[in-house]
Structure 1
Amino acid sequence: MTDTITPPGAPTDFGMNAEAASGPSLSYWQLVRKRFRRNRYGMAGLLMSLFILLTAVFAGFIAPYAVDTKDRAAIYSPPQTIRILTEDGSLTTPFVLGFEEVMDPNTFEITFEASYDKAVPLTFFAQGPEYTFLGMEFTTHLFGGADGEFVHLLGTDGLGRDVFSRMVYGSRITLLMGFLVMGCACIIGTIIGVSSGYFGGRTDTVIQRLIEFVKSFPDLPLYLALVAVLPRNADPITTFIMFAMIIVLLQWANLARELRGKVIAIRSVEFVRAAVAVGASDKRIILRHIIPNMSSHIIVWATYVLPEVILLESFLSFLGVGIQQPLVSWGVMLNAVRDFQSLAAAPWLLAPVGMIILSVLAFNALGDGMRDAMDPYAND
């Protein structure tokens, strides 16, 4: 009879071994994948997360126009609905209706009325503005209006820019901010947390006082204070990087404190003590035994901090203290509807809120599914 052997550095799978008892031996990560595939909520989060990521990667192809393309004839134009039925009810190829401006003679308010006389047929794989992908230039877009006519599925803003295109391009900046902050916070938190828990003594004391100092500040006022000192004459890329570093400054501390407690428990386990007894170096023990046993916790923590960063970036950019023009993010787009007059005139400018909610739900669902799959004590 062949015993199931746990790979070095993999967490003990306890209840997971029961699943493999009746079949071939499976590694810890094979069992995790098996459990995750059975989690419908987690799989739904994974599919939605992939959809959002692919939207950001192929933004140039999906968006029919560039972020600065203006339709001077459509200022605050409402969204256009895709239709497949003509005015007499017959089936036809997809099209959208154009709008006619109508002014109320009493209030002088301008409204838009859809007109079949201004119908615009939709064409797929249409030619449009140039965009760059992997260093190559393309002009083919997923869809567009026939004969170069404008199509605004989510309407336009006060400058006639297509809201749908800007929202798709904005996903790049928002997600890039989220992944940049998440990655930097994971690296810094892991290094500091593992060092604190493994070496102990004076190193642990100094690091814990540093973490307590960082966590003693209220988050939002400190963010606003730090962002306020950013140079306003700096270029947008520099502002973006500095803004990301400010968020990282307060995100790493939570992970470092969590990992410290786990390292203190792991360093007294038999396989770590055996490695010390045979003369293994601290570097080898940390990289081959300590960190692999905490990989599941780090992965789950990353999936939870990502939606938090997306919300924080959107909120600060909405207030006008985050990402600056000409960069476009979901928060920057929402900054245009801070006053009630703009919101009442064009409520469709709140479309990025839907993407923010979808992203937060998707990444949280993915995190919940991964947490359940990696928990050896979880019941199916």
Structure 2
Amino acid sequence: MSDISMNAEAKTGAGLSYWQLVRRRFFRNRYGVVGLIGCLLILLSATFPGFIAPYAPETKDRATIYSPPQRIHIVAPEGGLTRPYVLGFTEEMDANTFEITFVPDPEARQNLALFVKGDEWTWLGMTFETRLFGTVEGGFFHLLGTDSLGRDVFSRMIAGTRVTLLMGLLVMVASCVIGTGIGVSSGYFGGRFDMVVQRIVEFVKSFPDLPLYLALVAILPRRAEPITIFIMFAAILVLLRWADLSRELRGKVISIRSMDYVRSAVAVGASDGRIIRRHIVPNTSSHIIVWATYQLPEVILLESFLSFLGVGVQAPMVSWGTMLNQVRDFQSFAAAPWLMAPVGMIVISVLAFNAFGDGLRDAMDPYSND
């Protein structure tokens, strides 16, 4: 083979499998790669919250209730670079308005360091005491301030990543499995089975989502264990989210089952189960993967919204929505606007997963330019 033909083959992607082409297209999409990096960082935070957060989510510093965020300094007061440190606050009250203000106190300096000893945390049954960063002196510092009980907002936000993301993944996977099974079966078998299934799908989709979510969540037993409420809450979200994927896959399977390779498999006596596993589902996998990447941020937003209203995840479990529940009125927001920090994590996660989904969609498009 000549050098010209080899270069042309490398340029057009000839000789590469479908998934190799998808990978090459995806990593050429900068927007999608940035989204992937953001998703990996969020997953890392959800996997090791005890290591990344400086304190346990329930650790209280009663001396700094509603304390504002502390700024990290790297320049010494006398000039020149120094090791990172933060300054504590002293409270001052206005004699006329009785408003309390926090003034940095140079005498209350706390030096910061990496890999310090802190609150115990567990991972896979193993107990650790090392935290990613903290104070050398063992005191408290609060990058994003504290709440009404003196708990560190940054630590609780990192801990809430696990609960919120676990809810999103659980609902997404369950909806994906149910929607794929019902949609593929309905489109492949057709006939009376398809008619019955589609009437069920239409019945499910006929309900308005939000009012039904609120009605179903309202009947959850409030005296049950938080983990029980968490599972029941996830089941309610799954209840109405599988139908969209089911309807989309049904249409794709109806067109796929008339393809020559499916007819050939039927002609040689392949069973329905083998045809579905080896031919139908693999050819709908790109649609399923892209749907899943878009579904996850939607569930994160829905969980955060319902938990913000107080009808979702319940304490002592920590999620981004339960943290925002503390600032449901204007007075709380005016007194401690830093309690809105989880909004930033919600926005970042939604943008990251959407960017990742856009990159996958473009990479899996067979008509896209390589």
In structure 2, the partner of 1:262 is 252
In structure 2, the partner of 1:318 is 308
In structure 1, the partner of 2:177 is 187
Which of 171, 174, 182 is the aligned partner of 2:161? Answer: 171
When normalised by structure 1's length, the TM-score is: 0.94
In structure 1, the partner of 2:37 is 47
* Aligned-residue offset at 1:304: 0.2
Deviation string 1:115-153 (CA, Å, 9 cap, x unpaired) is: 211111102111111000121100000111122110100
Structure 1 residue identity aligned to 2:341: A
CA contact (8 A) 1:87 1:116 kept: no
* Aligned-residue offset at 1:340: 1.1
Distance 1:21 1:103 in 2: 70
Distance 2:11 2:139 in 1: 63
Q: Runs (4+) of structure 1 moved beyond 6 Å?
A: none
CA contact (8 A) 2:89 2:103 kept: yes
* Aligned-residue offset at 1:347: 0.1
Structure 2 residue identity aligned to 1:155: G
RMSD of equivalent CA atoms: 1.2
In structure 2, the partner of 1:131 is 121
Distance 1:22 1:235 in 2: 57
Distance 1:191 1:84 in 2: 56
In structure 2, the partner of 1:9 is none
In structure 2, the partner of 1:294 is 284
1:88 aligns with 2:78: yes
* Aligned-residue offset at 1:21: 7.0
* Aligned-residue offset at 1:379: 2.5
CA contact (8 A) 2:217 2:236 kept: yes
CA contact (8 A) 2:9 2:15 kept: no
In structure 1, the partner of 2:210 is 220
Distance 1:377 1:304 in 2: 21
Q: How many residues align?
A: 364
- Partner secondary structure for residue 54 of structure 2: coil
**1:153–1:206 Cα change, 3 Å:** same
- Structure 1, unmatched stretches of 5+, are 2-17
1:147-162, aligned counterparts within 5 Å?
147-162=137-152
Distance 2:112 2:11 in 1: 57
Structure 2 residue identity aligned to 1:337: V
CA contact (8 A) 1:317 1:332 kept: yes
Deviation string 1:26-49 (CA, Å, 9 cap, x unpaired) is: 100000001001000000000000
- Partner secondary structure for residue 241 of structure 2: helix
* Aligned-residue offset at 1:295: 0.3
Distance 1:20 1:294 in 2: 27
In structure 2, the partner of 1:4 is none
Distance 2:36 2:136 in 1: 35
Distance 2:117 2:213 in 1: 43
- Structure 2, unmatched stretches of 5+, are 2-7
- Partner secondary structure for residue 121 of structure 2: strand
**1:177–1:73 Cα change, 3 Å:** same
Distance 2:343 2:14 in 1: 47
Distance 2:109 2:141 in 1: 10
In structure 1, the partner of 2:97 is 107
Percent identity for Structure 1 against Structure 2: 72
Deviation string 1:175-233 (CA, Å, 9 cap, x unpaired) is: 00000000000000000000110000111101110011001010000000000111111
In structure 2, the partner of 1:347 is 337
Distance 2:32 2:14 in 1: 25
Deviation string 1:237-259 (CA, Å, 9 cap, x unpaired) is: 00000000000001100000000
CA contact (8 A) 1:372 1:378 kept: yes
Which of 204, 227, 236 is the aligned partner of 1:246? Answer: 236
Structure 1 residue identity aligned to 2:100: I
CA contact (8 A) 2:327 2:340 kept: yes
1:69 aligns with 2:59: yes
Structure 2 residue identity aligned to 1:314: S
**1:19–1:186 Cα change, 3 Å:** farther
CA contact (8 A) 2:13 2:21 kept: no
1:118 aligns with 2:108: yes
When normalised by structure 2's length, the TM-score is: 0.97
Distance 1:346 1:360 in 2: 25
* Aligned-residue offset at 1:88: 2.4
CA contact (8 A) 1:80 1:154 kept: yes
**1:168–1:252 Cα change, 3 Å:** same
Distance 2:368 2:106 in 1: 58
Distance 1:66 1:22 in 2: 53
